[in-house]
Chain A
């Protein structure tokens, strides 16, 4: 009898579940808002001071905080021309086309949603502000990973979840890249915060941030000194009634400008490093990383050690110790990577030799060096030596995953000539 009853319950339960499923299918999903990425300068009126009261009407306003400047080609050529070496040296390594120091704007947005893990800011009209989200588009080009967002036929559709915390006023400065990469945090996010501090925004719009790692906190401690720390926001989505952010959040490291100099000055002052102490020749090893494997790095390290270089594993050091190493060194050799953001802390005139695999070239270290007055030069090596070929059309393999080899005799000749 019991068995029959249990079976009866199971049947009833199945019927109920089926009916619930059918009912659910009959209830239309909430309509939601289709998200669209917009460029701030296209949709926001430009005003003299975005922080002036009363607050701008939706969707907000934009004002210039730092003007754009251009280092002309003759000047960059004079600084860089003929110094880089290796194979297929790109013209920009010799200073072609000058160097851009990008404008920084302050943007003020009333009544927006904020997904701290992505730096995203978007409003009820579905406008997703480009400068804040741009770095996260690397991970979620469809915006489908944003909380409350589902990619449908119409595009990325946002349906606000329930019980989202509300913040009255806030400065957003953490771009997605800065959460996961030291270079982006130091050169994009800290200048974004510094811009807001410099404009007096953070007094009325306290800075907020998603959960931080120890190296984030150490850099913030050095930069902020006795100043207030950003408020931690753990919720995946918050509503901000009145938000401010600086456009340095968007890949500022590729064309850095003021206030990166202030970030540098504050951190160096707090770090209190004796420039006369420490190793004068350092090599920044990447042997602890699985990305962009330099297959003869051990041979390189051996050759450099014989020339008096200290081999440094940055992942095993604190932020302070890395800053000290870069500040004290006279000559730095390093493969391309996040550790080279520390070039910011070099003394003017320090020689930096960046080893660049030819399929992973980047101008960002050069541009930081130009800002600080560092003697930057690069050695370009053909790459990749090997990479996994993917035959699936349409799938983009991470370009950071390959191995490469340095022509050691050629590089050592290049190095010895510069010593």
Chain B
């Protein structure tokens, strides 16, 4: 086990005081109360398995949203991990729980430990990243922070955003798109680290993927920038281009499944081939999203209420929690042997086959449900704007 500093329960002080130095090395300021409860929703069809059903039977309270303010830290490595007095830093809220698990079990330390010296110093900076830039993790664990930084900027609280130069190119592109004019500071993690006087750690806007309403408001608002009537709104997320080493599951009859999806009116999409703005537009208007469980399917986070989500395989609870949060109807179709193909840390190929008859039947049901609501889709997305009471 690696010694690390957990600041999750550090002193809570008002925002202005936290920024002014109250609370010592680490403090947190409440930005929003948890407020709402993410309510359980029934699955599209019954699926066996306690794990799979847990999120469809219980209501979960959304977390309070804090901003963590940490002083005199060093950021480095491939994920701009923070160290406080030489020890890795962890805080639930800004970082997912598995980070701590990786520290505790020394899993893949090359991903998060760093030895490069701090060569530059920043007075104040936002830290949004961690080492896991797999798309679905970026989307759920880092991307939401940008909305909070937008709100902080509106309130006059600004600071450069630190990104490792080795982060995938889409990270800086999305940051620039959402925060135009905002300064981004990059560093080469192989050569240097950054000393930061005041590090601002925004919340992920969820705890264990129980998302806060603020994220929904911002995603809904973002979608109002695009005419919803443009283009297709039934999507099959293809993983055909993702046969890379380390991928631990493989749908052997992918071509057959994709042909059925197309036959039912879905458009095949390989999200990794599209710029984020195009992906965001497509998923923001999607009424059906189907595909193999994975990062691409998590793009349904942007899809509006009533979206029908059909997941082939089941890995973890994230898709269900996204579904409950956005009021999607989610259904899982397991491999034809009834066994989900779960994540493995060690490379392991786990082929599986989806029963084409079952897929056609269940996707057909989802399409029918979506079509039943098609006539009025998007009719109440925007507000009745009231600039002033006219009498």
Contacts and interface: CB of A to CB of B under 8 A. Distances in A.
Interface of A: 92, 96-100, 102, 116-117, 134-135, 138-140, 144-145, 150-152, 176-177, 179-184, 210-216, 218, 234, 251, 253-255, 288-291, 314-319, 337-339, 362-364, 386-395, 397-398, 400-401
Interface string B177-221: 000110000000000000000000000000000001110110001
B389 A338 contact: no
A331 to B, nearest CB: 23
A179 B227 contact: yes
B224 A214 contact: no
Secondary structure dominating the interface of B: loop
Contacts of B29: 391
Between B379, B380, B387, the greatest number of chain A beta carbons within 10 A of the residue's beta carbon is seen for B379
Nearest to A210: B227
B384 A338 contact: yes
A9 to B, nearest CB: 18
B339 interface: no
B202 to A, nearest CB: 12
B382 A184 contact: yes
Going nearest first, the 10 A-B pairs with the smallest beta carbon separation are A180-B382, A388-B35, A211-B229, A211-B230, A394-B155, A97-B391, A181-B382, A182-B379, A210-B227, A213-B229
A36 B356 CA distance: 58
Contacts of B33: 388-389
A290 B382 contact: no
A134 B391 CA distance: 19
Given A180-B382, A290-B327, A254 B230 contact: no
B385 A135 contact: yes
B381 interface: yes
B154 interface: yes
Contacts of B226: 117
A363 B155 contact: no
Interface of B: 15, 29-36, 151-152, 154-156, 180-181, 212-214, 216-217, 221, 224-231, 305-306, 327, 372-387, 389-391
A184 B375 contact: no
Contacts of B378: 180, 213, 215
Contact of B379 (A181, A251, A388, A390): A181
B380 A315 contact: yes
Contacts of B221: 139, 398
A97 B391 CA distance: 6
Given A139-B221, A398-B383, 17 more contacts: A92-B389, A98-B391, A177-B382, A180-B378, A180-B382, A210-B227, A211-B227, A215-B378, A216-B229, A234-B230, A255-B390, A316-B376, A337-B384, A362-B386, A388-B36, A392-B155, A393-B155
Contact of B30 (A363, A391, A394): A391
A392 B152 contact: yes
Contact of B154 (A140, A152, A253, A395): A395
A214 B374 contact: yes
Contacts of A291: 380
Contacts of B384: 177, 181, 183-184, 253, 337-338, 362, 364
A117 B226 CA distance: 6
B391 A401 contact: no
Nearest to A183: B384
A144 B327 CA distance: 30
Given A213-B377, A214-B374, A392-B151, A100 B390 contact: yes
Nearest to A337: B380
Contact of B227 (A116, A253, A255, A339): A116
Contact of A182 (B224, B374, B380): B380
A242 B89 CA distance: 61
B174 to A, nearest CB: 16
18 contacts: A181-B380, A181-B382, A182-B376, A212-B227, A213-B378, A214-B374, A218-B375, A253-B384, A254-B386, A288-B306, A315-B376, A362-B386, A388-B36, A389-B35, A392-B15, A392-B32, A393-B155, A395-B155
Contacts of B376: 182, 214-215, 314-319
Contacts of B228: 179-180, 213
B373 A315 contact: yes
A339 B384 CA distance: 11
B57 to A, nearest CB: 20
Contacts of B32: 388-392
Contacts of A318: 375-376
